[in-house]
A and B are shown apart, each in its own frame.
Chain A
Amino acid sequence: MIPFLLRRLLWFAITLLGVVTISFFLMRAVRGGPFDGERRLHPAIEANLAARYNLDWPLWRQYLQYLGPFNLRADGIGGLLVVEDEAARLAKPAPEQAQGSTVRFGSNVWTFTGDIGPRPFGGVLTGDLGPSFKYRDFTVNDIIGQSLPISVALGSVALLWALVLGLTAGIGSALWRGTRVDLGLRLVATLGIALPNFVIAAFLILLFAFLVPVLPVAGWGRAEHMILPGFALGAPFAAYIARLTRTGMLEVLSQDHIRTARAKGLPEWLILLRHALKGGVLPVVSYLGPATAGILTGSLVIERLFGIPGTGSHFVNSALNRDYTLSMGVTILYTVLVYTLNTLVDLAYTLLDPRIRLEES
């Protein structure tokens, strides 16, 4: 298992570097910049803004600065390979060396260096995704830190819905194969896959917020805010899980060890839970990785419809706003999520199915 994980880690690093590089240059290649607005700026003000965010640098230098942790603030290439010394930079300079001003109020005296403005990028390698260009009171780390838990909570509810509904429907379908129950469940599942989640959401809002006003139309803050969006987000996944479960269960139920169990006279529910379910849900487990990633990042429309402050909206808005750093940040986040979840799924697979070993994969 350890070599497997190490190999994965190596590939992960390579993939991430590739994603960061390609998306950095793609983002900059797109027409329009973060500070273009209906009101065009005076050239001098535009230059001031570009300078403040290092947009007046050549692209390679901006890239290295973004990647970090090089200190490129000083002019010239001399600073290129100097790894920044946090301790030295934070130390207060002696007053005679300070280019800035000394300020007093009360009993306090502060001395500033001449370096006005923040160090715009700490560098991705240090885990610092930089300041957002659009939401200027926040760093990208702040924004992801605030919105990701919300998306995760919403995604968890959706996943619970998907699992509970999907497994129940799938097992039911397999048990009563060919009956009206099976037909009905499969019809609903097909509908669930075919209908986009925002259509389901619109129906739910109409039904449970306006016709029978039991749940809030939108918003975030109470438990009941999660029910409708969670359901709408999870519904297509539930439908897919139902189909996977049904197929998996049918396959297992036709196998020899089930016949043996039946011959031993075990009650049907025990056979189902003990012997059939484990093999039957294997396809579902392998689907869970992509499904989780899909739920976490595909919540854009649902989050918008229900006014939920999750990560979903940033995937699209940051690109539209040309918020370079935020857009890069969520891209990196997405890469990490997909990669981690897929690795977890591979691990879970070996736990559930002894026939599969990681070394062979």
Chain B
Amino acid sequence: MARPVRRLWWRQGLSLALLGGLLFLVLRAIGAARIERADVVFNNSTEISTLDPATVTGVPEGRILRAIFEGLTIKDPLTLEARPGMAERWEVSADGLVYTFHLRPDALWTNGDPVTAHDFVYSWKRFLDPRTAAEYAYQLWYVVGAEAFSTQVGPDGAPLNGFDTVGIRALDTLTLEVRLAAPTPFFLQLTAFYPLYPVNRRNIEEAQAAFPDTWQYEWLRPERLVTNGPFVIKERRVNDRIRLVKNTRYWAADEVALNTIDALAIESYLTGLNLYLSGEVDWINLVPASLVPRLLPREDFDPTPYFGSYFYRVNTTKPHLADKRVRRALALAIDRRAITEKIVKSGQRPWYSFVPYGMEGYTAQSFARASSAQGNADGDAGDGPAQLAADQAEAVRLFAEAGYGPGARPFPTIELHYNTSETHRDIAEVVADTWKRVLGIDAKLLNQEWKVYLDTQSNLGYDVSRSAWIGDYLDPNTFLDMFVTGGENNKTGWGNAEYDALIRRSRFEVDPSARRELLEAAERILMDELPILPIYSYVTQNVVNPRLGGFPGNLLDEQFPRFWYWMDDEELAARRAALPADQTVVDAPGPREGLYSPAQMRRRAAGSGAPTNGAPE
């Protein structure tokens, strides 16, 4: 009996060891994960794809990159106009083709090196180099020779042209000259756009030398990454958070109020909202649609116009959809108000043109509607039930004219294609329902998983397909140049020589009002032919702690952590006094005495009454 006893002990020891190991793992995970709360925590909604400005295209990535890098220009957080960034001033030639940027001499990289014109030449060359495979490379193709440099590729993947064929030159250490192929009125917005941010040459080349195989990740590790913006990345845990801390070498570090910011990567909107409501997060950028009515009366949820358009693409290569009268009938019949008021609910505008609401200096061109609502697309005139009835009657007339409807040819069933999502399904149901009621069309819904949906759309494998577009910069061009014949993002099979010519001419037009007229004329053609059916114009979905200052809403929904600060009680009270009466006040956690509000900053600069909280080293 001796042997079994010995084995029994062994067994007990094993189970004890297993339990102990389990506990050890748990404790270790807790210990490793412990992090203090940052001054401001926001939910970035997803893990970003990369920190390399050259290869990034997404909105969440932009939020991080704007905090850690800075371009030649930055944007005003309210108006989005270009302000001096790395360049303290610039000149533009009279023909709008040559930009000369003068860099500020006090701008430093986080490794202590000065930021020079050569850094921009290096970064933009890298950005355009086909081997970098930058998705946004075309944002710099306005520069002479840039498109050819990116797209003419030798068998080894290297560009065929030398970089001297591209109009980017450092005149001296602090002067950068950029020659454009066509005047680009939004070029100074592009220089504030993240793909055009500079990267540090030494950062990349040292990583290449030290890690010949893996330098593509290694140079971006927080401990190695060299940046030039108001914040630096201190810590990054995949799918969890990015910890930003103030960059004391930033040229305007005195004006940066916050010392730490956390960007979380929580994907569930509901969890994000829960975290916000429990005070653990100060800003979330999306909310579940079902909760919008309950959030609307709160002071911290204030949807503002957003430069995006929700629309349906129509496959104009299908015989029954090739007739523009049919497409106009489809567009006229849609009950947009039912969609904005019953489904999306945050104050989105029913929209009858492609370029979204809110663009100053441009009049969105609406498609032709019944009786008087033509011309100006500003919604308030034309959403009433009477107007809808008139529009739908007009739709029936056009439909009959095209040879369909009661007593004429039956219309083939339309497949309404969308990517899997409750909101898109609800909208498609409303649209299918009105088409059935008004025009007698059978429309069936077809939902596909995102990537399959994109594939179907690109290959014109659909009848009518849900779409959306958010502008990259504040100019109608970011919408209208999509629909040139054969454009990658056209995806409707539609083309119009006159439209193409107008878009092309607008590129070379220096006079702003003449350019505006060209673009408006182009949109009129688009809205006459209707390869797309506009539905609504977006609004932002931010829920923000009312105490967070330096956070104005803007059309591109771009936020700039550089300007953020905590309001003190005084400022918060003043802000609340200006609230509309129907808004309810909510909890506004945060330091009651504020954190370097602009007023405090001014006092500090004047040398009196420096605040004691969170003072930088």
Residues of B within 8 A of A (CB): 4, 7, 10-11, 14, 22-23, 25-26, 28-30, 32-35, 47, 49-52, 55, 57, 130-135, 137-138, 150-151, 153, 156-157, 202, 205-206, 208-209, 212-217, 220-221, 237-240, 264-268, 270-272, 274-275, 277-278, 280, 449-452, 454-455, 458, 468-469, 488-489, 491
Contact = CB atoms under 8 A, between A and B. Distances in A.
A261 interface: no
Interface string A108-123: 0010111111110010
B275 A307 contact: yes
Contacts of B30: 153, 222-223, 226
Given A221-B33, A351-B11, A159 B22 contact: yes
Contacts of A269: none
A40 B492 CA distance: 13
Given A39-B489, A45-B150, A137 B52 contact: yes
B238 A146 contact: yes
Given A112-B209, A209-B274, A44 B134 contact: no
Contacts of B157: 48, 51, 116
Contacts of B156: 114
A351 B14 contact: yes
Given A42-B488, A320-B449, A137 B274 contact: no
A313 B267 CA distance: 10
A131 B266 CA distance: 23
A52 B451 contact: no
B213 A37 contact: no
Contact of B202 (A105, A205, A305): A105
A243 interface: no
Given A40-B458, A153-B29, A218-B275, A136 B451 contact: no
B133 A45 contact: yes
A199 interface: no
Contact of A304 (B28, B35, B221, B267): B267
A186 interface: no
A43 B274 contact: no
Nearest to A33: B451
Contacts of B33: 150, 220-222
A121 to B, nearest CB: 11
B238 A218 contact: no
B131 A135 contact: no
Given A40-B489, A116-B131, 8 more contacts: A116-B157, A131-B216, A146-B238, A147-B239, A221-B34, A221-B35, A226-B30, A307-B268
**Which one of A31, A105, A152 has the highest number of Cβ atoms from chain B below 10 Å of its Cβ?**
A31
B29 A147 contact: no
Interface in A81-95: 89-90
A199 to B, nearest CB: 14
A-B residue pairs, 3 tightest by C-beta:
A32-B451, A153-B29, A309-B240
B29 A150 contact: yes
A138 B217 CA distance: 6
A310 B130 CA distance: 35
A143 B23 CA distance: 23
A90 B215 CA distance: 13
Given A43-B488, A44-B150, A217-B280, A137 B217 contact: yes
B34 A153 contact: no
A135 B238 contact: yes
A256 interface: no
7 contacts: A30-B451, A39-B135, A48-B157, A49-B133, A131-B217, A159-B22, A307-B272
A52 B240 contact: no
Interface in A131-156: 131, 134-139, 142-143, 146-147, 149-150, 152-153, 156
Contacts of B265: 309
A176 to B, nearest CB: 27
Nearest to A150: B29
A52 B26 contact: no
A160 B22 contact: yes
B160 to A, nearest CB: 12
B454 A32 contact: yes
A270 interface: no
B239 A313 contact: yes
A209 to B, nearest CB: 6
A115 B491 CA distance: 37
B432 to A, nearest CB: 23
Nearest to B459: A31
B214 A118 contact: yes
Given A48-B153, A52-B131, A322-B451, A137 B57 contact: no
A298 interface: no
A117 B238 contact: no
Given A112-B208, A118-B215, A135-B49, A156 B22 contact: yes
A216 B271 contact: no
A44 B153 contact: yes
A156 B47 contact: no
B271 A306 contact: yes
Given A131-B216, A137-B220, A220-B240, A32 B488 contact: no
A36 interface: yes
Contacts of A320: 449-451
Contacts of A45: 130, 133-135, 137-138, 150-151
Contacts of B47: 135
